[in-house]
Structure 1
Amino acid sequence: MFMPNVEEVLSLSKENFNVIPIGFTYLSDHETCISQFERVRHEEHAFLLESVEGGERWARYSYIGRRPFLVVSSSGKTVDITFINEKKSIQKQGSPLDIVKDYVSRYKSPKHSSLPPFTGGAVGFFGYDLIHTFENVPRPKTPSEQENEMEFLFTDEIIVFDHLKQKTTIVCNLHVSFDDTEITLHEKYEQVCDRIRRTYEELQQPVRKKAVNTQVPLTEMRKNEVRSSHTKEEFCYMVKKAKEYIKTGDVFQVVLSQRFEQETEADPFDVYRILRSMNPSPYMYYYKSKDAYIVGASPELLVKVDDGCVENRPIAGTRPRGKTLQEDLSFEEELLADEKERAEHVMLVDLGRNDVGRVSEYGTVVLDSYMEIERYSHVMHMVSHVKGKLQKDKDFFDALRSCMPAGTVSGAPKVRAMQIISELEQQSRGVYGGAIGYLGFNGQMDSCIAIRTIVFQDGKAFVQAGAGVVADSVPEREFEETVNKAKAMLKAIEGGTDPRQIQTPVLSIR
């Protein structure tokens, strides 16, 4: 049974909706979202979005998409718009954020109680370097190897795996034109239903199953060279310079990062499978575009807008998981009592409240939770939850502009910290520190901070990791923190290269 039915579609078309989602749901308890994605991932463009809530249980929905009808990407203020079905492209000059907003706002879709929250929209990323187009922050001397600073796939077909009910919903959207008659809408409805049937048949085909070893040992080492954007001495010098700015009162914190680069033949999807097993996270994504793959497992929401509510979730403060329940609780008590961790967390919560407050109605910003402990497979984090009611004249693009980049990847005060980052790092960050997520035609938006993320491009894998520099930071320790954060991603790459011999790569800091 297709939902909504044709009578509902006729009614919705009169309510100023020009994109109407139609869904078909079936039992798929013998499947996983991974096996479903295996059948469609070889398209030129494809994505898989998944989530684990609170670090320990799967969120209800996973989203699969492919075959966009429109692709919007940018480098600097040059924006490329590719119309896939028409096989043509145009270029525009201007603010990439405003141009994406212009195209997303052309589509208006209803929410339907029988369908999942996300039924179509733009899926992609805003790279960190997009901030140079709307903030007073100079560009670094060296550009990123990653070509696009932003890219979004506009999709009107979504495959949704419901982990709770073990069902799959195929959603295809009917595009309404201003001159559609009742007869043409009936015809379009049947065409969309036929499209859903074809996708259903495709998902019933046998799938090639490939085993990957998710146990990544730390003992054996393979000399697989990994190059860094900075030597240890260079990075420590950056930390010392940042501390000088902190001492003079320019900033309270600066998040400095370095990029690791490795030649690889790894299958990005195998790497994703290893990551989701090693480090289940609130935001997990496999994103395949024409030029690159982006694979990640991010713990941190950047900003979310749902039914007029805007929210973010600052994360600061980390401890390893204990080997026993008693040790685990001991680490939790230690984290909550750590004055340095608490001070950093308070600073980032204040930043989050300020970011949300700029687009929220006066007096509506609240702390829904404060300094709660969330447990993940290998670590626990201290997390707070900031919410506000979005101003009536604002939308999710205003929320994105206000919150991006997060304080956890820039510092505080944010703009001055970003200026110092450009000066000291001297290289564009690319995807790292930006946002990854979806912009729904139904007004919903969800995005995470692009950390714990790998970019595959031109036979290379890029991993970037940062450390928050404060007044009492020890340069060598901050350097080691970035290396340790990167190792988990690099081990996953090694596993995707040869699942039979997953070993820890040797970092060759140039």
Structure 2
Amino acid sequence: MIFKVEDIDQFKRQALKWASEFAVCGYLDSNNYHNAYSKFDALLAVGVKAEIEASAGHAFEALEAFRQEHHGWMIGFFGYDLKNELEQTQSNNVDGLNFPDLYFFVPQYLIIMKGNDVDIIADNAEAIYQAINQQRSLERQTTLEIKLQSRFSKQEYVDTFNQIKQHIARGDIYVTNFCQEFFAEDTIIDPLSVFMELNSISPTPFASFFKYREHYILCASPERFLAKRGNKLISQPIKGTARRGATSAEDEVIKQDLRINVKEQQENVMIVDLVRNDLTKSAKLGTVKTEELFGIYTFEQVHQMISTVTCEVEEGLSSVTAIRNTFPMGSMTGAPKLSAMQLIERYERTRRGVYSGALGYFSPDNEFDFNVVIRTILYNASNGYLSFQVGSAITFDAVAEQEYAECLLKAQAILQVLGAKIEYTES
């Protein structure tokens, strides 16, 4: 049933508050960043009709069977460590969050928002609409002052960065994405308030709020991992980041500098080549193409260099297999992918889990859309563990201090929301 809503932003806030009372819910918001592949403005899935949770080993196979049984809407996430099912890799680093490697649910209630139209898919749509409208405005959480710890001091980061560069000099890899964790223990937050604040400060086209019982994903991702529209697969890897300027004139200078930055172009084209190679596993012969190379896109916090790679799907190939064939995404691993993932495990100090995985949906028309889980706060309410990770690409020409600064640039919205400061001690 479709309802006309005068204030869609107010409705979103009330709907999220209503949904967050359920044990499981998932919210995806494009924040009005429309593109050729947008299917809706926002989607809210609430309550569990059926669900699947799986660990790396036979997770994709289990999801395939689950998807064949449930052909409608499904919302959920793929954790990065599903790589261990696909390649000869392991995940032995510390994990304070304890998310499953894979989780999807078939919702009891689904709400799709386009413009001022709200489509509530449920037997009792009118009652749900009334219940949402009766929600009081969400009260902002008192100002947070989270004490964050880091897995690396700045000097340890620089030293490790330079060790990884030695592998590049030896030819073991060409590029990799090296990430570091910032975390807090015994922390109490209101996850919905934190997400609303993050989404206000840093609205992005693949924002999401996901509640899986005591686990929360508060995501401000600007990056699409993989989507399917009709018989077409679309991947839009990001490589290349620059700060926002204080004025529109300064912004234009920064954007132009990013556009012609040879190092950023090298990073981007390496990952584009990797994505093209991954897509060939799912594509009709000769259909893989780069629709846009080095596109510059502006967000509230940063400018990004984004490329678009597409292909036509081989007939008879399932959606789950298409995702499996490209997972994990090249922008968060490196090239060659296997060697990069093995070095990531060796040099990083935290199990990535949901971070640098993918969150999104399957729809009844056999389409799907998944983001890259970056610029994201992860929280386990049962043990009070709060975490976010940030990373940047290492290439032969990369400079450790510059990439460290890029990590902090990517984290600035999260740090602002958490009221957090990090003490960077030198080792």
The whole-number CA distance in structure 1 between the counterparts of 2:31 and 2:296 is: 15
Match of 1:425 in 2: 348
| One-letter amino acid matched to 1:124 | G
Structure 2 residue 199 is matched with structure 1 residue 199: no
Match of 2:80 in 1: 128
Task: Tell me how far 1:55 sits from its aligned partner.
Answer: 8.2
The whole-number CA distance in structure 2 between the counterparts of 1:385 and 1:161 is: 26
Q: CA RMSD in A?
A: 2.5
Deviations 1:294-323 (Å, cap 9, x if unpaired)? 110101100001211101012112222233
Match of 2:121 in 1: 171
Relative to structure 1, the CA distance from residue 324 to residue 147 in structure 2 (aligned partners, 3 Å threshold; closer, same or farther) is closer
Q: Does the Cα contact within 8 Å between 1:321 and 1:378 map onto a contact in 2?
A: yes
Rg comparison, structure with higher value: 1
Task: Tell me how far 1:132 sits from its aligned partner.
Answer: 0.6
The whole-number CA distance in structure 2 between the counterparts of 1:107 and 1:153 is: 10
Task: Tell me how far 1:69 sits from its aligned partner.
Answer: 1.2
Q: Does the Cα contact within 8 Å between 1:55 and 1:377 map onto a contact in 2?
A: no
Q: Does the Cα contact within 8 Å between 1:268 and 1:293 map onto a contact in 2?
A: yes
Q: Which SS does the other structure have where 1:46 is aligned?
A: strand
Structure 2 residue 230 is matched with structure 1 residue 314: no
Task: Tell me how far 1:484 sits from its aligned partner.
Answer: 3.7
TM-score normalised over the length of structure 1: 0.77
Q: Does the Cα contact within 8 Å between 2:73 and 2:363 map onto a contact in 1?
A: yes
Match of 1:37 in 2: 16
Structure 2 residue 24 is matched with structure 1 residue 74: no
TM-score normalised over the length of structure 2: 0.91
Q: Which SS does the other structure have where 2:48 is aligned?
A: coil
Task: Tell me how far 1:426 sits from its aligned partner.
Answer: 4.4
The whole-number CA distance in structure 1 between the counterparts of 2:161 and 2:330 is: 17
Q: Could you list the structure 1 runs, at least 4 aligned residues long, displaced by more than 4 angstroms after superposition.
A: 53-56
Matches within 5 A, 1:458-473: 458-473=383-398
Match of 1:501 in 2: none
Q: Which SS does the other structure have where 1:450 is aligned?
A: coil
Match of 1:105 in 2: 68
Structure 2 residue 83 is matched with structure 1 residue 158: no
The whole-number CA distance in structure 1 between the counterparts of 2:95 and 2:384 is: 19
Task: Tell me how far 1:421 sits from its aligned partner.
Answer: 0.7
Give me the identity figure in percent.
Answer: 26
Matches within 5 A, 1:33-72: 33-52=12-31, 54=33, 60-72=40-52
* 174, 187, 204: which one aligns with 1:252: 174
Q: Does the Cα contact within 8 Å between 1:55 and 1:374 map onto a contact in 2?
A: no
Deviations 1:63-114 (Å, cap 9, x if unpaired)? 111111122112344xxxxxxxxxxxxxxxxx11110111111133xxxxxx
Relative to structure 1, the CA distance from residue 393 to residue 283 in structure 2 (aligned partners, 3 Å threshold; closer, same or farther) is same
Relative to structure 1, the CA distance from residue 296 to residue 225 in structure 2 (aligned partners, 3 Å threshold; closer, same or farther) is same
* 243, 261, 268: which one aligns with 2:183: 261
Task: Tell me how far 1:424 sits from its aligned partner.
Answer: 1.3
Q: Which SS does the other structure have where 1:402 is aligned?
A: helix
Deviations 1:7-50 (Å, cap 9, x if unpaired)? xxxxxxxxxxxxxxxxx112111442122222232111112110
Deviations 1:452-490 (Å, cap 9, x if unpaired)? 111111222110111211112233333343344334213
Task: Count how many residue pairs are aligned between Structure 1 and Structure 2.
Answer: 420
Matches within 5 A, 1:265-344: 265-344=188-267
Consecutive unaligned residues of structure 1, counting only runs of 5 or more, are: 1-23, 78-94, 109-119, 173-191, 217-221, 495-503
| One-letter amino acid matched to 1:37 | L
Match of 1:241 in 2: 163
